[in-house]
Structure 1
Amino acid sequence: MPDRAADEPLVSVVLATNRGGPFLAEALASVAAQTYSHVELLVVDDGSPDPTEIQGLVASAGLGTVLRLEPSGVSAARNAGVQRSRGDLLAFLDDDDRWHPDRLRLAVEALVGRPDAVIGYCAMRTIDPAGEQVVAADQRAARDARDVVRGRTGIMLPNLVMRRSAFDAVGGFDPAYRQGEDLDLVLAAATLGPFVFVDAVLVDYRYHPGNTTRAYRDLAAGIRVILRARRSLARSAGRTELDAAYRDRLRANDRFAAWSAARAARADLSDRRFGAAVGHVVWAARFAPTAPVDWARERVRRLVDRER
């Protein structure tokens, strides 16, 4: 990393993991390659079976401190990393993602230029296990908290940098959430101040197609719990302008659930697992019964918007 200016804010990068492997090595290398120099890296080993492998990978990267924990879950692990960190700015990297060398430098410049912003975020593409792009970046600037709530901005944990003061104000990650904990953090931060967008593709989010077919059910159910809880808090705080945005996001989550169930059912049908395919359809009908009608309505709305 290049020499830093004395007044550059320290960025604390927290990477929680419970495994080693080439993806982790690539993630660590992307931190080491940052063009922004005032960085500390805390790797939280969340009860991995081989801590020596993680320690070796961190040593090979040439930076970072390893904090070993008993298995605690990713939210608790990240919170522990933040507690040990010293930076005024916080960034979080998953163990299978990677950053462009200018990722932190541009985020810091954006946040320094917008002292009122609580989060800076950038464009992010999706890659496969081999590192090839499968989905192009589609993030956009958030006009206000309603855009963040509706999920139209594409903010996720790997592509944000957050002020430590904002992280502390919202209480960090909620350990009660095993799925969607990053969404909960972003929704909480949206009530504190504006977000600033860096319009450059600086993060690679790695998608694993080998995920279990039932994972979408847990994710959709977890997101619903978070959205309902945050909607209730917004109402209690008098943030009535966010109510419609939360309603839209809940409907979008139902569409996601139905679409995921349909995709899983098609995969099972192609493998002649008819009982499993029916199970996906039945689950979707119970979880999101109005999703097909809502999907058709949303499709028409988008077509009308394009013609205007």
Structure 2
Amino acid sequence: MPKASIVVPAYNVAETLPETLSSLLAQTAQDFEIVVVDDGSTDATAEIVQRLSDPRIRLISQENRGLAGARNTGIAAARGAYIGLCDGDDLWRPGKLAAHIAHLDARPEVGISYSGSEFIDAASRPLGVFQRPRLRGVDAAHLFRRNPIGNGSAPVLRRAMLDRVAYRPAGETQRDWWFDETFRQSEDIEMWLRLALTTDWEVEGIPGALTLYRVNGGGLSANTGRQLAAWERMVEKLAPLNPAFFAAHAPAARAYQLRYLARRAVSDGDGPRARDLVLRALACSRRPLAEEPAKTLTTCAAAAALTLPGAARLGRIATQRRLSYPKG
């Protein structure tokens, strides 16, 4: 069996998948497999994988189940003791897998090993924007507020940890779930927080921007309402696990989430939406202002500046330099 598996959920990523797979095949670690899950693509995603002759690559095709469902299929098929996740449009630096294997080998109490990320555009050009998360001392409260794992291509998971959080929802008779397939957004933080609240596995990062995370500008603010609704549903689902925890930490976590969504609205030049989200964040909790004053004040200033003539275009330019945002 391979030491590690890399699960690649792939939905209509024919344009980016060849570069993604090239980056994974170039890993300095040698003992691994790649499980590509074609999640009902209507483009040439499956054909691209079928044309590759590398024996380390396996293709699984299924009807569309969403990102969480594609990950679950890949995890179920993976044979490695360690399982990395890499979306079909992101890239890994050559030493990423080896660094995570060394980390997990040395720290048997760690269930999730993650790294920082560098953001790239549609043409794989660096945007000069980085996720530099906290690496140590990550408890459930910090996960809830800040989600240092950052994106779905950053972590490498221990199979033994996954075995602890696997479940079968009502009506599911065929396979286990790790990620909740009823979520189309916030599925990552739901899984990480569920892990932190129900097990003693540790979550820990390693230095370096080892993931290259592709972002797509435009149309971001239109999704902030759905993103917030999914986040609130995640809180509603998990709150019964530890009501006291959520009562204590939900206001600050909600403020951080609203600030994050405000930055997405700034990215898209949507001034009214950005201002509304900033004001709601400050009303929930002043903790982001106390803990991260520069980032919070920059967000407030950027939202306010979008009322000026020509500010939408300037906001997009400034955001690419200073403000992180996820895929649209």
Normalised TM-score (structure 2): 0.75
Q: Distance in 1 between matches of 2:60 and 2:8?
A: 10
Report deviation, 1:117.
Answer: 0.8
Structure 2 partner of 1:13: 6
Q: Are the equivalent residues in 1 in contact too, given 2:132–2:209 (CA < 8 A)?
A: no
Unaligned runs of 5+ in 1: 1-7, 268-276
**Residues of 2 paired with 1:37 and 1:263: CA distance?**
39
1:153 paired to 2:148: yes
Specify the alignment match of 1:169 in structure 2.
Answer: 164
For residue 60 of structure 1, what is the aligned residue in structure 2? Answer: 52
List aligned pairs for 1:261-272, cutoff 5 A: 261=265, 264=268, 266-267=269-270
Change in Cα spacing, 1:217 to 1:61, as seen in structure 2 (3 Å) is farther
Identity %: 25
2:212 is aligned to: 204
Q: In the alignment, is the contact (CA less than 8 A) between 2:119 and 2:214 conserved in 1?
A: yes
- Given that residues 145 and 194 in structure 1 are in contact (C-alpha distance below 8 angstroms), is that contact kept between their aligned partners in structure 2? no
1:244 aligns with 2:248: yes
Task: Decide whether aligned partners of structure 1 residues 263 and 19 sit closer, same or farther in structure 2, where only a CA change above 3 A counts.
Answer: closer
Cα deviation per residue 1:155-197 (whole Å; 9 max; x = unaligned)?
Answer: 4321111111222322201011011111111112223221222
RMSD over aligned CA atoms reads 2.7
Instruction: Call closer, same or farther: CA 1:109–1:217 in 2, change over 3 Å.
Output: same
Tell me how far 1:258 sits from its aligned partner. Answer: 4.2
Aligned with residue 106 of structure 2, among 105, 108, 113? 113
Give 1:1-308 correspondences, 5 Å limit: 10-51=3-44, 53-57=45-49, 59-60=51-52, 62=54, 63-134=56-127, 135-143=129-137, 144-151=139-146, 153-171=148-166, 172-191=178-197, 192=199, 193-235=201-243, 240=244, 243-261=247-265, 264=268, 266-267=269-270, 280=273, 290-293=280-283, 298-299=288-289, 302-303=292-293
Where 2:8 maps in the other structure, the secondary structure is strand
Cα pair distance change 1:158/1:262, threshold 3 Å: closer
**Partner Cα separation in structure 1 for residue 37 and residue 289 of structure 2:** 43
Over residues 11-44 of structure 1, what are the superposed CA-to-partner deviations in whole Å (9 max), with x where a residue is unaligned? 1111111224331111111110011111111111
State the SS of the aligned residue for 1:60: coil
Q: Is the 8 Å Cα contact of residues 30 and 98 (structure 1) preserved in structure 2?
A: yes
Cα distance, 1:253–1:87 mapped onto 2, change above 3 Å: same
SS in 1 for 2:110: coil
CA distance change for structure 1 residues 84 and 230 in 2, over 3 Å: closer, same or farther?
same
Task: Decide whether the 8 Å contact of 1:114 with 1:196 is kept in 2.
Answer: no
Query: In the alignment, residue 229 of structure 1 is paired with which amino acid?
Result: K
For residues 209-246 of structure 1, the C-alpha deviation after alignment (integer angstroms, 9 at most, x for no partner) is 034541122112111211332233223xxxx4565333
Q: Which sections of structure 2, spanning at least 5 residues, go unmatched? A: 167-177, 295-328
Q: Distance in 1 between matches of 2:280 and 2:48?
A: 51
Whether the 8 Å CA contact 1:90–1:163 is kept in 2: the answer is: yes
Residues 125 and 245 of structure 1: is their aligned pair in 2 closer, same or farther, counting only changes over 3 Å?
farther
- The amino acid across from 2:52 in the alignment is S
Q: Distance in 1 between matches of 2:291 and 2:109?
A: 34
Aligned pair in 2 of structure 1 residues 258, 18: CA closer, same or farther (>3 Å)?
closer
Query: Taking structure 1 as reference, are residues 250 and 213 closer, same or farther at Cα in structure 2, changes over 3 Å only?
Result: closer
Query: 1: distance between equivalents of 2:215 and 2:26?
Result: 22
- AA matched with 1:29: S
Question: What CA distance in whole angstroms lies between the structure 1 residues aligned with 2:61 and 2:183?
Answer: 21
Question: CA, structure 1 residues 250+23, in 2 after alignment: closer, same or farther (shift >3 Å)?
Answer: same
Deviation at 1:263, TM superposition (A): 5.6
Aligned amino acid, residue 48 of structure 1? S
- How many residues are paired up? 278
Describe the shift of the 1:261–1:34 C-alpha distance in structure 2 as closer, same or farther (beyond 3 A): closer
Letter aligned with residue 256 of structure 1: Y
